[in-house]
Amino acid sequence: MRVIAGKYRGKKLVEFNLPSTRPTLDRVKESIFNLIQFDIDGAVVLDLFSGTGAFGIETISRGAEKVVFVDNNPNAIKIINQNLKTITGNFEIKNLNAIDYLKNCKTKFDVILLDPPYKTNLGTDAINLILKNDLLKENGIIIFETDKEHEFKFNNPYFEITKKIYGTVAVYKLVKINN
């Protein structure tokens, strides 16, 4: 797994193999970043369910102003720290349950990257908390990666929604529009 573009393009990232983790395929990651490539420079980004931190590191490489990494797995936190050793930028690492983090968060984000464990409702729960606590700036973006079989129902007139399928993966792009 490598950084795709930007300042750290080509940097190899440390991975880990645990049954509870599922790294995003490079082609899916590249497609996700094609969807948001013009929204990252100068952005405040939340990498929720961070895993190895690959999504957040990609945004740092592409000019994000600040990135917050959140994961509750101690092994993931170790990997994120390893992957950030040679990265410079403004970032925070939170060893917390994602839902607990969102319940207490006061920061508004430009981009929120959600890659929760598949076959759970954690992504939907996270999105509901993001909206309830008003954690997304106007024109902010949520990227939600899930299994294409996952029933994600979201009906909110203040969001434009795009769905893309990549093999067995579904990626939703939710853009907050002016209310």
Distances (CA, A) of 49 to 9, 30, 72, 101: 23, 18, 8, 11
Please indicate, yes or no, if residue 1 is contained in any of the structural domains. Answer: no
Please indicate, yes or no, if residue 14 is contained in any of the structural domains. Answer: no
Overall domain count for the chain: 1
Asked if pLDDT for residue 145 goes beyond 90, the answer is yes
Please indicate, yes or no, if residue 82 is contained in any of the structural domains. Answer: yes
Rounded percentage of the chain residues whose pLDDT exceeds 70 = 94
Please indicate, yes or no, if residue 2 is contained in any of the structural domains. Answer: no
Residue type, 69: F
Decide: 31 and 56 in contact? Cβ < 8 Å.
no
- pLDDT digit string, tens, across residues 3-12: 999 999 999 9
Q: What's the token pair of residue 178?
A: 């002016």
- pLDDT digit string, tens, across residues 102-144: 999 999 999 999 999 888 899 999 999 999 999 999 999 999 9
Distances (CA, A) of 17 to 70, 75, 106, 130, 166: 19, 10, 33, 29, 22
- pLDDT digit string, tens, across residues 61-97: 999 999 999 999 999 999 999 999 999 999 999 999 9
Please indicate, yes or no, if residue 162 is contained in any of the structural domains. Answer: yes
Please indicate, yes or no, if residue 3 is contained in any of the structural domains. Answer: no
Which range marks the domain in which residue 161 is found? 26-176
**Domain CATH code at residue 151:** 3.40.50.150
